[in-house]
Structure 1
Amino acid sequence: MPQTYQQYLKEHHEQHLKELFDFLQIPSVSSLSEHQTDVRKVFFARKKCRVLQYINSFIPHKNSI
């Protein structure tokens, strides 16, 4: 049986919180070369957000029924 999105979110809750906190710790000064790794993290997080937004578009919501 396929996993529901609620089950997925519940099972990966800690991972998602860790990723969010990692994202929030990225310095805002991205033009400095010593922050190059942090800038890559932002691009990865942005891509992941877009994927989640795409997946969310297929989930029926109470307001759209």
Structure 2
Amino acid sequence: MDATTKKRLQDYWLTLQNLDDPRTSGKALQGSLAGLWRYRVGDYRILARIVDNQLLILVVGLDHRSSVYN
């Protein structure tokens, strides 16, 4: 992963942490990944589980879009 992509991911993560409801920027996944949320950052995807009662966003995956769902 190049430095520009790392910076974009870090900036996006900081933005996501400051949202009142992180669901507004993501997409709920279905099927075997139900319960996870997807966030697009260029060609990369962040897969996360949102735990409301703890105000927690747990990242469970971060990879290129071609392989993150495998």
What is the TM-score when the length of structure 1 is the normalising length? 0.38
What is the TM-score when the length of structure 2 is the normalising length? 0.36
Which is strand-richer, 1 or 2? 2
Which is helix-richer, 1 or 2? 1
Larger Rg: 1
